Amino acid sequence: MLLFVLSLNPSPLVAGVPGALVFEKVCAACHGMSGEGKAELKTPSIANEPRWYVMTQLLNFHDGKRGQDAVKDPQGAMMAGIAKTLTRAQIEAVATHVEKLPMVVPSEKEIAGADVPQGQELFYERCMECHRYNASGEMAFGSPPLVGRQGWYLLEQLRKFKNLHRGAAKGDERGAKMVQMATQFIADEQAMKNVVGYILTLNPASAKAEAAEAIFAPPPVLKR
């Protein structure tokens, strides 16, 4: 229904519309009302992503630097189809709104078969310099926060970078950095699982999880 309306008119929302309205009318159907993401649609949680990162990604999708190949990257292509219907003003407004949404801590806390201490080692050696020790991201490097994203989504993105299905388009300089990291320093699927398993431990615990942890405290992971 929503897509039908969009296909009739590529820019149904006039410029100057509040970002909250763009979010509610266009984004919530796939990313959820709180921006929490939906596993069944393979949409990431985007709630609380910094404005600068949402902007770069929406512009990348819009300009054909991400999601340009529907066969190799069907999810990216779906998102690109949406981004292409947005004006620059709508992209700016919705990015401001997304940043204000409270972070949604992923409900899945671990990756099956991940060796978390190994993942921690890889993270310290190869990821922390750009994504920071707590995976909160660093605007100066264009590296987004990795906390707040679901584990399956992070794994999926690492696979895409490694297989050149993301970050390999002409002019995507930031994506190219991640292609370099993934191809040179993430050996295989197991290493991806390990590092994502570790990243998930950096998420702040939800109020509920904190109460449960007080009873069933997991062994603490060594932190430098």
Binding-site ranges for ligand HEC (CB under 6 A)? 22, 26-27, 29-31, 42-44, 46, 49, 54, 56-58, 75-76, 78-79, 82, 86, 94, 98, 122, 126-127, 129-131, 141-144, 146, 149, 154, 156-158, 167, 174-175, 177-178, 181, 185-186, 195
Nearest approach, Cβ of residue 195 and ligand HEC (Å): 5
Residues 224 and 220: their CA atoms lie apart, in Å, by: 12
Judged by CB, which is closer to ligand HEC: 176, or 209?
176
The answer to whether 47 and 98 are in contact (CB under 8 A) is yes
The answer to whether 101 and 42 are in contact (CB under 8 A) is no
Judged by CB, which is closer to ligand HEC: 139, or 207?
139
- Nearest by Cα to 195 from 221, 163, 168: 221
Judged by CB, which is closer to ligand HEC: 74, or 204?
74
Nearest approach, Cβ of residue 211 and ligand HEC (Å): 29
Judged by CB, which is closer to ligand HEC: 88, or 208?
88
Judged by CB, which is closer to ligand HEC: 133, or 141?
141
Instruction: Tell me how crowded residue 187 is: count the other CB atoms within 10 A of its CB.
Output: 11
The answer to whether 147 and 129 are in contact (CB under 8 A) is no
Judged by CB, which is closer to ligand HEC: 68, or 149?
149
Residues 179 and 162: their CA atoms lie apart, in Å, by: 6
Residues 98 and 50: their CA atoms lie apart, in Å, by: 8
Q: Which residues of 60-78 are buried (b: 16+ CB within 10 A; e: fewer)?
A: bbbebbbbbbeeebebbbb
Nearest approach, Cβ of residue 14 and ligand HEC (Å): 15
Residues 112 and 58: their CA atoms lie apart, in Å, by: 31
